[in-house]
Amino acid sequence: MNYNLNPRQIDRIIEMAWEDRTTFDAIKFQFGLKEQEVINLMRNNMKRSSFKLWRKRVSGRKTKHQKKRDFMSGRFKCSRQRSINNNKVSKR
């Protein structure tokens, strides 16, 4: 299928689809592709084994659907994660 996307856009969609916290809604907003179109694009632009890994990873994942999320936005930060201060990693 041709979605009139250049190779750079296709790469970005694939990257966004692999990210856990990027929703299909965000991809639709930015590129106009519905979830099924993203799946088809992934199928056509990835090796079969990579596509299978991605589908296994994404299937049933709440974070890929805005309405199923139990958080609104932002990134998770572990309390044990070191903070970064002036480009230096601070010690505990």
pLDDT score of 16 more than 60: yes
Instruction: Tell me the pLDDT band of 59, cut-offs 50, 70 and 90.
Output: confident
Q: Do 73 and 63 touch, CB atoms closer than 8 A?
A: no
Give the global pTM.
0.65
* H helical segments located in 1-92: 7-18, 24-31, 35-45, 48-58
Question: CA–CA distance from 62 to each of 20, 27, 65 (Å)?
Answer: 9, 15, 6
Q: What pLDDT, on the 0 to 100 scale, is given for residue 77? A: 46
pLDDT band, very low/low/confident/very high, at 43 (cuts 50, 70, 90): very high
Q: Rounded CA gap, 80 and 57, in Å? A: 26
The number of beta carbons lying within 10 Å of the beta carbon of residue 44 is 10
- Output 81 or 28, whichever has higher pLDDT: 28
